[in-house]
Structure 1
Amino acid sequence: MKTPQVTVRAEPDGVRVVVCSGEFDLDTTGLLQEACDTKPVPADLLIIDVRQVAFGDSSFLNTLIRLRNTRPLALQGPLPSQLHRMMEMTGALPLFDIRDTTEQSA
């Protein structure tokens, strides 16, 4: 198993980027939730960079959906094939704004 890592960085214009890498399951998805909830600086937009996610199970997808339902959120892609397939099969793919950059749309 690839150890999951989550890092957070602030970008200009009120954007916060959360970079996820490794494998996320029920035991490790809390790292993502914690990184999004415990940082004191509010963000106008939260971008979750999932390009380096080797595996994400349904609990990872559930966390992404909950985050999307509580704040402005986009995913930075391209999505890894496993995550893309799961989102497509569950019907969750259209719920997300998927971007190739961290810049906000004008």
Structure 2
Amino acid sequence: MEQQVRVLPDEGGVRVIVCAGDFDQDTLEPLDQACADAEDDPGVRRIVLDVTRVDFADSSMLNLMVRVLRTGRLVVAGPVPPRLGRLLDLTQVRDLLPTADGIDAARSL
């Protein structure tokens, strides 16, 4: 699948970033930029990262997710795909991530 990063219009201070495809150190830049823009926007109180269509992620994406988690504004919209879930489990990061089933549930957390 071709990589895609799409930012949905903000609603009530919630920014949704939809990810699809493979994310590694060579392809992370669009997602990194979208997350940095959300982190820098004082009007964004929650950053929802929709990972349902992520086919592959390496430690680069994991590091980005931890960075955004540290802002206290990250919610992951799932279900988390098996390969990404394995990375989160192996690194014990899954338990740290606020996760919701779908974008609508993530918006309301």
- TM-score, normalised relative to structure 2: 0.86
Name whichever structure is richer in helix by fraction. 2
- Counting only pairs closer than 5 Å after superposition, residues 56-71 of structure 1 correspond to structure 2 as 56-71=57-72
1:104 correspondence with 2:87: no
Aligned match of 1:50: 51
Asked if 2 retains the 8 angstrom alpha-carbon contact of 1:19 and 1:50, the reply is yes
Listed as ranges, the gaps of 5+ residues in structure 2 are none
The alignment partner of 2:106 has SS state of coil
Q: Distance in 1 between matches of 2:70 and 2:44?
A: 15
The alignment partner of 1:102 has SS state of helix
- TM-score, normalised relative to structure 1: 0.88
Between the aligned residues of both structures, percent identity stands at 36
Aligned partner of 2:20: which letter?
Answer: S
CA positional deviation for 1:19: 0.1
Listed as ranges, the gaps of 5+ residues in structure 1 are none
The alignment partner of 1:51 has SS state of strand
Aligned match of 2:3: 4
Aligned match of 1:74: 75
